[in-house]
Structure 1
């Protein structure tokens, strides 16, 4: 069937603000939003700009605002939206570089501050650093993050405060705070406790609702708050509580 697509367009060389262009696309049950964009670019308008890579919901590069929700274009089936018109825009809260392409530099700069890698003071063991199932469960949900930016883009605090670390960065921080193998808990909790850290979260839950991987982002941020509070109460290791 034919579906009308209303797509955000922005050419920095000619446009002051974004505009919208409308296209008609023939789709089937299997057609994803990314497939439709490819069809538009290949057959109707070769100037349309957007990012994509894996087509399997793993790389995170095709996050977009689709019919009012942040979603991955490659895993969103057009007919599953049950709409006569599909609106596709760049992720809110990010500077638009061209059409559906946004500037990722500030996003990844905030993640870099979290030192998103294992910091272990102890010498490497002869075998792997083992964990119990309970220890793994403390942070396993956070490991699903594919850095698509959907959670951060859905956060109204991010929209109005460019200094706030945001849900994605704080989820990455929680992933290591609650990893029993990591030795930098104190420094990581200091980041969580900073002015632009976990306490900026107003617990709106947009981040959890829009995460395409089902990460309980808001709960991770609340866990960071509890970790900070326990540290202030004198508990050296919040992972033990």
Structure 2
């Protein structure tokens, strides 16, 4: 277990907080869209059970993520996924807003919609938390617990900050790239080799991952905006 007094613990803690803030907003948007057609008296129940199901799903996903990431070379796959998620985060929103969620007219249909959508959307959050936690179960539990208030209450604030300060999104993408580099450096198959060569290689890989996300993400975003006849910010 990671020592709470160590700098590594607090670095991992800050990374997990940032991950929850950057990646947690869309989940609340999905919940709001799924419940928008419910009668007022059912909306609170829809939100409650939707969040409950989403968090339960994350607990299951995080268990499998931690187990799988102990297998040699599988952290490489997790790192590749985080790089892709980071690049995707820097892309401009589709003109339709990017949320194709049908609002349910019954409580059951709304909850079903929330859980199905969250099964897809939570995987990025779970993989990122697993990578940043350095196998600390306490940090994983903290990350999952923190995601609850962010999903329920914090999404509007987070999205306003991202809209007003685009650098927040860029820093979030860079953070995911940094964690991806760390996952490569700590893969069971390479950890000893990299440490024996030089501890500095871990930081080189982290920095390279962060730079790749920002450079590729911004380049693709500029191409997308150019094809739409817009100018990148």
TM-score (norm 2): 0.27
Higher relative strand content? 1
Higher relative helix content? 2
TM-score (norm 1): 0.26
Larger radius of gyration: 1
Give the structure, 1 or 2, with the largest relative contact order (CA under 8 Å, sep 6 or more): 2
